[in-house]
A and B are shown apart, each in its own frame.
Chain A
Amino acid sequence: MVSEAPHSVRGRVWKFGDNVDTDVMAPWNTISLPWEERRKSVLHVRPEFAEQAAPGDLIVAGRNWGCGSSREHAPENLKLLGIGGVVAESFGRIYFRNCVAIAFPNLACPGIAQACEEGDDLEFDVASGAVRNHTRGVELSGAAYTPDMLAILERGGLLEMLKERFSAA
């Protein structure tokens, strides 16, 4: 089986604080706009982010990243910007489920906000929960995915699984 989304990602870190909500990742009045217009407002609390984030960059955040609305545009916007994944102290639960469903690696890792700064070179693996900060030589351990969650990630998301399930039927 081809692994559509890797377990392990490595990249340069953008750092955010606590309680960053899905409204600032995807403001309501932008969610039906075409991507080129919508991208400008992604995480608009830091306007340079949407302009300068490069494919493969990672996000490190504090507590309750993605709290708020069920809008899937929040993680989808980050994925479309090319963000490789997110490591946070904790997540809003619907946001986190949405990430699993669209195969966007997000890992809860208590202690990450202390152990990582903007620009660090970070690597994490959702299968093992291992987090390595290569810049600082720090290793942490986060909440590894369950086998079911890993299966969804490996297939490239729930829609791919749905396709398989119904074409098999």
Chain B
Amino acid sequence: MGRTMAEKILSRAADAPDARAGDYVTARADRVMAHEAFTVCALQLRRLGIDRVFDPERVLVILDHYFPAPTEQMARGHVIARSLSEQFGLKHFLGHAGICHQVLTERGHVLPGQLVFGTDSHSTTYGAIGAAGTGIGLTEMTWVLATGELWLLVPPTVRFVLDGTLGDAVMSKDVVLWLAGRFGTEVAQYRAIEFAGPLAAGMSVASRMTMANMGVELGAKFAFFEADDVTLAYLRSRAPAASAGVEAFGPDEDAEYEAVHAVDVSGLEPQIACPHNPGNVRPVSEVAGTPVHQAFLGSCTNARLEDLEVAARILKGRRVHPATRLLVTPASQQVAVDAAREGVLETLLEAGAHVTASGCGACPGGHGGLIAGGEVCISSTNRNFRGRMGSADAEVYLGSPASVAAAAVAGKIVDPRELW
């Protein structure tokens, strides 16, 4: 019997020749990512008298959640993180290059078939290039930094076979939101997802990252796409050295799935997740007209070059509505550079957008765009929980970059196809 991507990766990482869904294994990490949480974990290690990590080559530290530091306390946190990274001899302190998942992927720090633990729930994003990424908390990260391993349940896999074509101004974000609405936010709880089918095969790595990212909003532990020619071309163009020798990676043809959902998205309307849950999804026509005070184009979900290009296409020759504000936070410094080179930033700025430094920014309600009680934000991010972006009396609607840009122009939620 064949094996799923999760079974293949965990068999290898746990040195258990035939680990199957339902088995408990202790698996060794290929990569470990910690953002600002590294400080807490490293100090914990110190307190326990442990002064080294399991492998300084495999640990990546990046400062993204509180960058640029919004308070003196956070600035101090960054100083400590940097100094602890040095003291622990880490080979890859990535500073403030952008949002963790974007930076690790675009620089080839994570590769197909690897097992990655991150101090961030959206570590599922690495599934876009065929890696098993999953989020863990501070205590488990402290354990992993010291030992390099973690107990895991080999998850059963739910496979979505995606077919059909997306119309103009309809994006992979609309597909994943629609899945959350249609199948619920627990469809993959304690499970892995494999996104497959012709639609998935035709998607860019950027579009795949959006869906793998929101795999965790479907409950998933891992959210895979196959590593195919698209993946290999992406890695070779961005990280030729790191990706030399990397091969395609996918499930066996006769792998066994817990469920297979065949979905044809032809004719899909843009989708919006309404307050206060990512699963509370409606077609845009049902919420069109909702006034918007802030439009946020940012986060590891949807702030890559492709996303900024779509927004620029809608904003070109138009102006952000006077009753709203548009904040653009490129997912990484590299994305900002690419967008500047292509003239995308110029288009956005001319339309009245405010472009901020790369990082998490407003996404988790940290800094750089919090919203007040009574305000409404349409956001390209992944979560709209109550209070997520500021006041508990504010409302967040999630949509694609096209929907965010269109709402910024109209001052209210509109169907982005009207402005395409």
Contact = CB atoms under 8 A, between A and B. Distances in A.
Interface in A59-110: 63-64, 67-72, 90, 92-94, 97-98, 101-102
Interface in B174-227: 185-186, 189-190, 216, 219, 221
B137 A94 contact: yes
B392 interface: yes
Nearest to B388: A23
A120 to B, nearest CB: 25
B383 A159 contact: no
Contacts of A162: 48, 50, 142-143, 146-147
B301 interface: no
B143 A158 contact: yes
Given A19-B185, A72-B138, A159-B48, A148 B366 contact: no
Contacts, number: 108
Contacts of B189: 64, 90, 92-93
A94 B186 contact: no
B366 A28 contact: yes
A32 B45 CA distance: 19
A72 B48 CA distance: 19
Contacts of A67: 185, 219
Q: Which of B135, B142, B186, B383 has the most CB of A within 10 A?
A: B186
Contact of A70 (B136, B143, B385): B136
B136 A94 contact: yes
Contacts of A92: 189, 219
Contact of A29 (B216, B221, B277, B365): B365
B73 A70 contact: no
Contact of A44 (B50, B139, B221, B387): B387
Given A19-B279, A32-B73, A64 B186 contact: yes
A54 interface: no
Given A24-B387, A93-B219, A165-B147, A69 B50 contact: no
Nearest to B73: A32
Interface residues of A, number: 37
A157 B383 contact: no
Contacts of A32: 73-74, 77
A41 B333 CA distance: 34
Contacts of B370: 29
B137 A72 contact: yes
B120 interface: yes
B136 A21 contact: no
Contacts of A158: 139-140, 142-143
Nearest to B50: A166
A40 B386 CA distance: 16
Contacts of B365: 23, 27-29
Given A21-B385, A23-B387, A27-B387, A163 B139 contact: no
Contacts of B50: 162, 166
A70 B121 contact: yes
A70 B392 contact: no
A148 B385 contact: no
Nearest to A75: B137
B190 A93 contact: yes
Interface in B12-71: 24, 44, 48-50
Contact of B143 (A44, A64, A94, A101): A101
B289 to A, nearest CB: 26
Contact of B48 (A29, A69, A163): A163
A21 B121 CA distance: 13
Nearest to B220: A93
A67 B220 CA distance: 11
A98 B134 CA distance: 13
23 contacts: A23-B386, A24-B392, A32-B73, A44-B387, A63-B186, A64-B186, A70-B119, A70-B121, A70-B137, A90-B189, A92-B189, A92-B219, A93-B189, A97-B136, A97-B137, A101-B143, A146-B24, A158-B139, A158-B140, A159-B143, A162-B146, A163-B48, A166-B48
Given A24-B387, A93-B221, 11 more contacts: A19-B279, A21-B277, A29-B365, A67-B219, A68-B121, A70-B119, A70-B120, A158-B143, A159-B139, A161-B143, A167-B49
Interface of B: 24, 44, 48-50, 73-74, 77, 119-121, 135-140, 142-143, 146-147, 151, 185-186, 189-190, 216, 219, 221, 277, 279, 364-366, 370, 383, 385-388, 392
